[in-house]
A and B are shown apart, each in its own frame.
Chain A
Amino acid sequence: MKLELDDVGAATVVRVFEANVDARVAMEFRTLMAREITAGKRRLALDLREVDFMDSSGLGAVVSVLKALQPDGDLVVFGLRGPVLRLFQLTRMDRVFRLLPDEAAALEALAMPGEGAT
């Protein structure tokens, strides 16, 4: 899976360079992220700008990251386009995740206290 992690202050931007986040890469993503979280990364901004499509296993993997960050970590998502945004909406995941338009907004949101992951 093509993935890059950039530490920006206390936050980590997780850049996904896969057009399709599906069963093929979901497990690997889940494993990679679990390792990073165990290593101490607790405030994550997931960059989906390059993602055209996610299937349910892809979305499930993102949910698993959120769960792994509980109770004190935080995950925000930015750069959702077209079908990916619609999938978040129609499965009501837009109410669980904070969806933000770009990286700056995502980092700002991570810096704001009070609205962490649930």
Chain B
Amino acid sequence: MKRDTDTIGPVTAAEATAAIVGHARHSLGRLWDEVTPREALLAVSMAVRDHLLERMADTERQWRATGAKRVCYLSLEFLMGRSLGNNLINLGLHDAFRQALAGLGHDLDDLLETERDAALGNGGLGRLAACFLDSMATVGIAGHGYGICYEYGLFRQEIDGGRQRERPDNWLAGGTPWLVERPDEACIVPLYGRIEHAADRAGGYNPMWMDWKILVGVPHDMPVAGYGGLTVNALRLFSARATDDFDMGIFNEGDYLRAVEGKIASETVSKVLYPSDAVEAGRELRLVQEYFFTACALHDIVRRHLKDHADLRDLASGVAIQMNDTHPALAVAELMRLLVDEHAMDWDEAFAITRATLGYTNHTLMPEALERWPVALFETVLPRHLQILYEINARFLASVEARWPGDAARQRRMSIVDEGPPRQVRMAHLAIVGSHSINGVAELHTRLVKSDLVPDFHAMWPERFNNKTNGVTQRRWLQSCNPGLAGLLTQSVGDGWITDLESLRALEPFAEDPAFREAFRAVKRRNKEALARVIQGTNRVVVSPDALFDVHAKRIHEYKRQLLQAMHVVHQYLRLVEDGVSPVVPRCFVFAGKAAPGYRIAKEIIRLVNDLSATLRKDPRSRGVLDVVFVPDYRVSLAERIMPAADLSEQISTAGKEASGTGNMKFAMNGALTMGTLDGANVEILEAVGADNIYIFGLTAEEVARHVAEGSYHPADVYRGHPRVQRVLDAITSGRFCPGEPDRYAWIRQRLVDGADEYFHLVDLDACLDAQDRASADFADPDRWTTMAIRNVARMGRFSSDRTIREYARDIWGVVPTR
């Protein structure tokens, strides 16, 4: 077995060539000069996979040999994106394979572009999980991801007549080399049925779960290589299968089709990712998905633990389980069921083990994203778990009573079950009660979790609440996606930043170096040219890389305020065409993001952006001066093109709404300046980069909260009292940008002026416009702008997910990274 101190053996271009051609021939049955582009990608990927699998087996053996504590990261979403490029870099195979492919008549970069994204997530939460896997493998933690092997990832977005159209993302259709199916480790998952109140052999109460149905969870392992290739962990994704005999009764009655329909129904469980992080309440399939992957994961965790331990009494010392939001919160009840029902453990001991093993990360303060399940549905799908949940709740409420005697109101607020009507299970409460650690994902967010979201729980267990500000992996979000900047950084300060982002501090003096600034600008210029080519390909629009690339790229949601940026666009346009004032610098407004299919307003915002785009392009006064593009199908691989090309990063959510954000970190790491509100991790980015190197505007979270509490925000007054606001609103709602349907955006006036303007667009618009003017003036001074951008890059050290993971390891999981 190779030791941890080994480096991965160097691979020559000749060896890489032999491996690629060999896979074409022996795995695909093709001579190299006959392969299709898809087969070429497969052959190269399989050649890389050989290295991954060898290391993965070594790594697992090493974790077992050293008795490493396992960290199991349960997440309903893993937004992995493409794998080949990242694996080549992390395994140190990049140069050899580039050379090999050149010799075979292929360009590596072209080949990388043909890989489909693994889009098994909606946005930040899923991408965070993917960054965490990269960091755990890099710093040397026995980290295991657990999720669902969705057959269809997040929908592909097409724009048709300015409107979003959803298309299925059948990412597995062409086959993927990155998943290794493990049918021998499949597990069975019971659900539905009823509880029969029976007695055991000693006469004690023994609830029996009867009339259940069975799903089979088949694991698929996706290797996750840490930088340097020393550690290759696995992301284990489960697909749902029917048992072979699922409906044999029906089958044997001669009704073949009905039997097959039953089989299909059970396999639907892992068919599709729900395209929103706020799923409509009562969606039974979603509850089944959550239970399915949680039960599969826990079965696997217990199975592995028992390989090297006599029983489960020491589970918490061998395993830490982190719940990424409440989607895996059923782990509390399922682990209790495993310990009490299957391993005959005493309740109190089982609960102590459960709590010591589980940790919960909260990701949202938005009420609609806080999961609740109707008790009736819960009882139908998970009758035994509901019994267990009631027991947990009864004991928990007794402890609340002991702490605050007679405080019935507090007990009602804290109960895991909201007595309604309708009666609902509060998943966040279940997660909190069953965890030894509850963390938020940015300083501000954690403060709001404690003060506003669950203050009663914080009062009861203050020591369990902690903050872990999110981070992103610089291997993907700088080294891989921005090779120009990565090369410049390495040339200037060495390559230590790849595993220690804080070392970019050494870049500070370079901000004052004119030659470095010039080189930095040249890199940015090339990245902008590359994005301009992407835009030309997708939007059939030519944009100038001379313009300030002003980017708003993230899921479309009212709180993220794409609409505020659209209003900014309209202001710039009106100033040009009505006031005759040309912008200080030309701007190219880039928007990208998907709207949940059922979120009508978000989809209308996309349409507005596209209407603005068309109007400004048709108008000769604005063409080439103010461009707007909505780049379709935002996904990880597109973000990897957008981030390095941005000059200005829009992070303008309503203060107090964005938990952390990670796009803000990716942009800044690539030398974009942030235009932001004091929300989420923007607050910490401000601290890190300094007020002179960022544009901050708008209400604070406290001011927003005060307005809400006191009812003191009157958007109609803002509209009447601020001419710029009024002019922008009037232009949008007058039909100016949609002459064929003048009332298309009447809803914006209804919501923002006549209504409550729930996300505080109008009151923040004036300050936003002023901040944007400051940014334009700075951009007009390239040396000043570049100096600020370099300082941003130099000061991003704390936003590496390596730092985040080390904090989780130290404070929550109790593990010591090997590197």
Whether the Cβ atoms of A90 and B341 lie closer than 8 Å is yes
| Residue numbers in B under 8 Å from A89 (CB-CB) | 341-342
Is B108's beta carbon under 8 Å from chain A? no
Least Cβ–Cβ distance between A102 and chain B, in angstroms = 20
| Residue numbers in A under 8 Å from B209 (CB-CB) | 90-92
Is A37's beta carbon under 8 Å from chain B? no
Is B536's beta carbon under 8 Å from chain A? no
A20 touching B248 in the complex, CB below 8 Å, given contacts A53-B243, A89-B341, A118-B199: yes
Is B540's beta carbon under 8 Å from chain A? no
A24 touching B252 in the complex, CB below 8 Å, given contacts A90-B209, A90-B341, A93-B208: yes
Question: Mask for A74-99, Cβ within 8 A of B = 1, else 0?
Answer: 00000000010011011111011010
Is A23's beta carbon under 8 Å from chain B? yes
Is A103's beta carbon under 8 Å from chain B? no
Is B249's beta carbon under 8 Å from chain A? yes
Whether the Cβ atoms of B201 and A22 lie closer than 8 Å is no
Question: Mask for B179-203, Cβ within 8 A of A = 1, else 0?
Answer: 0000000001010010010111101
Least Cβ–Cβ distance between A69 and chain B, in angstroms = 13
| Residue numbers in B under 8 Å from A22 (CB-CB) | 245, 248-249
Whether the Cβ atoms of B212 and A56 lie closer than 8 Å is yes
Q: Which residue of the partner chain A has the closest CB to B344?
A: A95
Whether the Cβ atoms of B199 and A86 lie closer than 8 Å is no
| Residue numbers in A under 8 Å from B243 (CB-CB) | 53, 55
Is B211's beta carbon under 8 Å from chain A? yes
A91 touching B248 in the complex, CB below 8 Å, given contacts A83-B188, A118-B203: no
A91 touching B212 in the complex, CB below 8 Å, given contacts A23-B248, A53-B245, A86-B188: yes
Interface core residue of A24, A57, A92 (most chain B CB under 10 Å): A92
Whether the Cβ atoms of A90 and B342 lie closer than 8 Å is yes
Is A60's beta carbon under 8 Å from chain B? yes
Q: Which residue of the partner chain B has the closest CB to A89?
A: B342
A75 to B252, CA, bound (A): 30
| Residue numbers in B under 8 Å from A92 (CB-CB) | 200, 206-209, 341
In B151-200, the 8 Å CB interface with A consists of 188, 190, 193, 196, 198-200
Is A115's beta carbon under 8 Å from chain B? yes
Is B464's beta carbon under 8 Å from chain A? no
| Residue numbers in A under 8 Å from B344 (CB-CB) | 95
| Residue numbers in B under 8 Å from A117 (CB-CB) | 201
| Residue numbers in B under 8 Å from A20 (CB-CB) | 245, 248
Whether the Cβ atoms of A91 and B208 lie closer than 8 Å is yes
| Residue numbers in A under 8 Å from B784 (CB-CB) | none
Least Cβ–Cβ distance between B186 and chain A, in angstroms = 9
Whether the Cβ atoms of A118 and B342 lie closer than 8 Å is no
Whether the Cβ atoms of B245 and A56 lie closer than 8 Å is no
Whether the Cβ atoms of B245 and A91 lie closer than 8 Å is no
Is A63's beta carbon under 8 Å from chain B? yes
Q: Is the interface of A mostly helix, strand, loop or mixed?
A: helix
A95 touching B200 in the complex, CB below 8 Å, given contacts A56-B212, A56-B213, A87-B188: yes
Whether the Cβ atoms of B190 and A95 lie closer than 8 Å is no
Q: Which residue of the partner chain A has the closest CB to B203?
A: A118
Least Cβ–Cβ distance between B205 and chain A, in angstroms = 10
Least Cβ–Cβ distance between A90 and chain B, in angstroms = 6
| Residue numbers in B under 8 Å from A24 (CB-CB) | 248-249, 252
Whether the Cβ atoms of B208 and A56 lie closer than 8 Å is no
Whether the Cβ atoms of A95 and B212 lie closer than 8 Å is no
Whether the Cβ atoms of B211 and A56 lie closer than 8 Å is yes
When the two chains form the complex, which single residue of B200, B210, B250 contacts A63, counting CB atoms closer than 8 Å?
A: B210
Whether the Cβ atoms of A55 and B203 lie closer than 8 Å is no
Is B376's beta carbon under 8 Å from chain A? no
A96 touching B188 in the complex, CB below 8 Å, given contacts A23-B249, A24-B249: no
A60 to B246, CA, bound (A): 16
Is B214's beta carbon under 8 Å from chain A? yes
In A98-118, the 8 Å CB interface with B consists of 98, 115, 117-118
| Residue numbers in A under 8 Å from B199 (CB-CB) | 96, 118
Q: Which residue of the partner chain A has the closest CB to B206?
A: A95
| Residue numbers in A under 8 Å from B208 (CB-CB) | 63, 91-93, 96
| Residue numbers in B under 8 Å from A53 (CB-CB) | 243-245
A98 to B202, CA, bound (A): 11
A78 to B90, CA, bound (A): 52
Least Cβ–Cβ distance between A74 and chain B, in angstroms = 11
Least Cβ–Cβ distance between B142 and chain A, in angstroms = 26
When the two chains form the complex, which single residue of B201, B211, B249 contacts A95, counting CB atoms closer than 8 Å?
A: B201
Interface core residue of A20, A56, A93 (most chain B CB under 10 Å): A56
When the two chains form the complex, which single residue of B211, B252, B342 contacts A60, counting CB atoms closer than 8 Å?
A: B211
A118 touching B245 in the complex, CB below 8 Å, given contacts A55-B214, A87-B188, A91-B208: no
Least Cβ–Cβ distance between B197 and chain A, in angstroms = 11
| Residue numbers in B under 8 Å from A91 (CB-CB) | 190, 208-210, 212
Least Cβ–Cβ distance between B416 and chain A, in angstroms = 23
Least Cβ–Cβ distance between A113 and chain B, in angstroms = 14
Q: Which residue of the partner chain A has the closest CB to B245?
A: A20
Whether the Cβ atoms of A90 and B190 lie closer than 8 Å is yes
| Residue numbers in A under 8 Å from B214 (CB-CB) | 55-56
In A6-51, the 8 Å CB interface with B consists of 20, 22-24
Least Cβ–Cβ distance between B299 and chain A, in angstroms = 9
| Residue numbers in B under 8 Å from A115 (CB-CB) | 201
Whether the Cβ atoms of B193 and A56 lie closer than 8 Å is yes
Q: Which residue of the partner chain A has the closest CB to B199?
A: A118
Whether the Cβ atoms of B200 and A96 lie closer than 8 Å is yes
Least Cβ–Cβ distance between B385 and chain A, in angstroms = 12
Question: Mask for B10-25, Cβ within 8 A of A = 1, else 0?
Answer: 0000000000000000
Least Cβ–Cβ distance between B533 and chain A, in angstroms = 55
| Residue numbers in B under 8 Å from A96 (CB-CB) | 198-201, 206, 208
Least Cβ–Cβ distance between B619 and chain A, in angstroms = 67
A89 to B208, CA, bound (A): 10
A84 to B200, CA, bound (A): 19
| Residue numbers in A under 8 Å from B193 (CB-CB) | 56
| Residue numbers in A under 8 Å from B201 (CB-CB) | 95-96, 98, 115, 117-118
In B303-347, the 8 Å CB interface with A consists of 337, 341-342, 344
| Residue numbers in B under 8 Å from A57 (CB-CB) | 211, 249
A12 to B34, CA, bound (A): 68
A83 to B185, CA, bound (A): 12
Q: Which residue of the partner chain B has the closest CB to A21?
A: B245
A113 to B249, CA, bound (A): 39
A111 to B207, CA, bound (A): 28
Q: Write 12 A-B pairs (CB below 8 A) sorted by A numbering.
A: A24-B248, A24-B252, A53-B244, A56-B190, A57-B211, A89-B341, A90-B337, A91-B212, A92-B200, A95-B344, A96-B199, A96-B206
Which B residues have a C-beta under 8 Å from some C-beta of A? 188, 190, 193, 196, 198-201, 203, 206-214, 243-246, 248-250, 252, 337, 341-342, 344
Shortest 9 CB-CB distances between A and B: which pairs?
A: A23-B249, A95-B200, A91-B209, A20-B245, A89-B342, A24-B249, A56-B212, A24-B252, A56-B211
Other 20 A-B pairs with CB < 8 A, given A23-B250, A87-B188: A22-B248, A23-B249, A24-B248, A53-B243, A53-B245, A56-B193, A56-B214, A59-B210, A63-B196, A90-B190, A91-B190, A91-B208, A91-B209, A92-B200, A95-B206, A96-B198, A96-B200, A96-B201, A96-B206, A96-B208
Which A residues have a C-beta under 8 Å from some C-beta of B? 20, 22-24, 53, 55-57, 59-60, 63, 83, 86-87, 89-93, 95-96, 98, 115, 117-118
